[in-house]
Structure formats: C-alpha cells, structure tokens
C-alpha cells in the first residue's frame, strides 16, 4: 500500500506547525490545569467542569494528532517563479471565464490549505484537486482550458505568479 502524501505549500506547512505548537504548548497546558483544578473540587461524577475539561482535552489531542499526521506526510511543492511557466501548487492565477468575461484570481494550494471563501486571505485558496485546480495545473499564460464540473466551462489564463508571502 502506497503511503499517503499531502501536497502543500511551505506557507501552508508553516501554518500547520504554528497551530500544532499553539495547541501543544498553550491550549493543552491550559486544559490540563483546568482538569487538575476540577479534580480538586471533589466528586467527579457530577462535576461539569471536570467533564467539560476532559471533553476539551480529547478534542485538542485529536487535533494535535491530525496536525502531526499532516506534518508527517506533507510534501512541499516548490513552485517558485522562473523555474516553470506551468501552473502548480503555490501559484496565484488570474483567469477570465470565456462565456461571461468575468475575471477571477485564485491561489492553487494543497487540500489542507483550502480557503475558497477567502476568509484568511484576500483571494480564494483552491485545492489543486478541485475541478478548477485540476484544469489549471500544468497550463500556462494564454492557454484556454475546460473546467470539468456539473456545468463545464472554459477559461483563459491571464497571469500566473508565485509569492511565498501571500498567506
């Protein structure tokens, strides 16, 4: 069985590491302190603070385990500008939808970095495995590509850039 690999940008892996360290070094310690304090209150069978702290610790430990797994199987895709004109993970792409003329900008990222509603950045982060991401990867400026989805559409790639500080 082939080992799972998760493609991502270095910025995405840095965010995973930052969250991992925060959970391990800050949140987990705070919850353990709350757990100890709740134990000192006596009868654990009717102690809501103890039950809540135990539940929270389980959530944190689960997230720490998930983030550690991502770190263990992550493969950094290095798409620095100038090495290749072809779109890959880490590239920011401006494209025009042929039928409507609408121009959009997206950043193609790994599946764990996705932010399609642009809640963490000024532009949407889309997975390289999404319909749009799959259509973009491997193409370059000037190409017209078909996005295969429920209602397929064509786009023209206007520009491609790589900026490691976009996150």
CATH number at residue 66: 1.10.287.180
Same domain, 106 and 154: yes
Between strands 144-147 and 91-97, the pairing is unpaired
46 and 98 share a domain? Answer: no
Q: Residue 85 falls within a domain, yes or no? A: no
Number of domains in the chain: 2
Q: Is residue 157 included in any domain, yes or no?
A: yes
Residue 82 lies in a domain: no
Which residues touch 156 (CB under 8 Å, ≥6 apart)? 95, 96, 98, 142, 143, 144
Is 86 a member of any domain? no
Whole-prediction pTM value?
0.77
CATH of the domain at 126: 3.10.50.30
CA distances from 17 to 20, 70, 92, 118 (A): 5, 9, 23, 21
**What is the residue range of 147's domain?**
91-162
pLDDT tens, position by position, for the chain (167 residues)?
A: 456 899 999 999 999 999 999 999 999 999 999 989 888 887 767 778 888 899 999 999 999 999 999 999 999 987 664 456 899 999 999 999 999 999 999 999 999 999 888 888 899 999 999 999 999 999 999 999 999 999 999 999 999 997 654 44
């Amino acid at each position: 069985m082939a080992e799972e690999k998760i493609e991502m940008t270095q910025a995405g892996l840095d965010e995973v590491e930052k969250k991992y360290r925060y959970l391990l070094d800050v949140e987990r310690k705070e919850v353990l302190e709350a757990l100890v304090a709740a134990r000192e209150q006596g009868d654990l069978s009717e102690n809501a603070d103890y039950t809540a702290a135990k539940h929270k610790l389980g959530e944190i430990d689960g997230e720490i385990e998930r983030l550690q797994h991502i770190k263990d199987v992550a493969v950094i895709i290095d798409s620095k500008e100038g090495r290749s004109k072809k779109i890959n993970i880490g590239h920011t792409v401006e494209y025009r939808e042929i039928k409507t003329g609408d121009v959009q900008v997206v950043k193609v990222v790994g599946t764990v970095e996705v932010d399609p509603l642009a809640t963490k950045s000024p532009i949407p982060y889309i997975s390289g495995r999404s319909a749009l991401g799959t259509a973009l990867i491997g193409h370059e400026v000037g190409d017209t590509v078909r996005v295969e989805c429920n209602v397929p559409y064509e786009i023209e790639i206007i520009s491609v850039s790589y900026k490691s500080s976009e996150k």
